[in-house]
Structure 1
Amino acid sequence: MSASHPRLVDARWVADHLDDPSIRLVDATVHLTFDADGAHTESGRETYRQAHLPGAVFADQLTDLTVHGGEAPFEATSSQELARVIGGLGIGDEHTVVAYDTVNGIWATRLWWQFAFEGHDDVVVLDGGLKAWRDAGLPVESGDVQHEPASFTAERHLERSVGTTDVEAATRDSGVLLINALDRESFASGRIPGSVNVPFPELVDEQGRLKSLDELRPLFESVGALDPKVAPVTYCGGGIAATAVAFALKGLGRDDVAVYDGSLNAWTADPDRPIEKDA
């Protein structure tokens, strides 16, 4: 395990546990791009098939773990459906899940959060993802991996997520701290009133690895996110980067962080809801 975060592991730790039957490696990649027409997402299944950690399965968060036609594009799927999908990947209640992605870590933390939302806390994230694995000179596989189906229990922990009605109330409640996880420019151009900003790109170093807790602590202290008198709620554009901030806060001892799953996609669906901007 990495000493820098209780839910983080490095490539060497994973390599040492490749033959451990209690471990399940999961590629959580989704490709997210932006252009003049907005955001576009694409399943990472094909890049997984090209190269993945030995023995890793692919969890398609875009197609299998998301409600289609829900409040927002990435709304978490139902407990029943998640249990079916995860069990079908060969992940059972007894397994330690190692989540990683090939992008910037936010899809791995999104999967970490979905497991936690359903009561499965035995999940760690590979620091730096596939890049860190390859940088360590470790081997990759191609094609698909299949395990025998397993029994996975999903029991939703509602305190780990909030909806739009809760966030509307939070804008009038000094006991709730809304934390926007987008970059500083995006935060300045539009946010839920009363929010503070902890940009997810500032959580990682140049190699895409999570900064140490000693480096992260001042960033969160500066916005009051470590104050025990407030309840942190993280959000972003679509509920993905928000999980990276929740993950970092977990390492800093906050076990009470909720994620606004719909995030700005849901908040701005009603044009009458207020948006705060820098002057």
Structure 2
Amino acid sequence: MKRHQALAYTILGIFLLVNLFPIYWMFVTSVKIDIEVYSAKPTLIPQQPTFRNYVEIFTTRPYFRYTFNTIMISLATTFFCVILGSVSAYGFSRFHFFGNKFWRYIIIGSRVFPPISLIVPFFILFGKLENWFGIQFIDTLHAQILVNTYMWLPFSIWIMLGFFDVLPRELDEAAKIDGCTRFQSFRKIIFPLAFPGIAATGIIAFMGTWNEFMFNLILAPTPAAKNLSVGASDFIADMFVSWNHMGAGAMIASLPAFIFIIFFQRYIVSGLVAGAIK
């Protein structure tokens, strides 16, 4: 092995060690008993490993409800981001209208503001909507879906926009000659060809929504719409922190990320790279 290769592998090994150790420590903590967790001498390997903590978080906390809420919010947000994002990106890519470039930057500019600065406006807006329409928004799943769609839709449009711009316009013209309408051309030809980019966008939107914490913490104060990320904070009490139960909850909340990385990594990489090349 050449010297520069050995150096590269060494740096890569150190990088992996630094990044994977928190995950390892989180798992180790999740299988420790209380005495070992609060011991003055931390142990890298559990002396009496147990999965009782995983059972207890579902029996002592409404974790089934948290899991259901997280799945519903993430799937619905991903669906709206993919559908609305792909149609919007296709329109920006294929139609030349006044203000096309301007509105592109307006869309991405809506994500310039720090998310924490939007909490109060969203809270006031939902309160107004409740008064106007008599429909509850605070502490509901549809409010969480609306907020997360707002947060991820601009990003989805921009990722898919770069991908649609790469596809030749001749494909649309050929489909039109064959008798396809604009919508049929998009659905039967452009959408399948853009699937890697669309899949990458959907996966990133899903993972971002799954891990969302701040808006859910403020806008979902009860288990009715609370997700797994905020549910893990239930184990922080006034006088102590149940680290092993929190670790178990964090591991469960992290499972989708591991699954997506293992099974859908090629879609993420190919989609983002293809969308970046013009």
Confirm or deny a common fold (TM above 0.5). no
Q: Which protein is richer in strand relative to its size? A: 1
Q: Which has the larger radius of gyration?
A: 2
Please classify the TM superposition score into its range, dividing by the shorter chain length. Answer: under 0.3
Q: TM-score, normalised by structure 2?
A: 0.26
Q: Which protein is richer in helix relative to its size? A: 2
Q: TM-score, normalised by structure 1?
A: 0.26
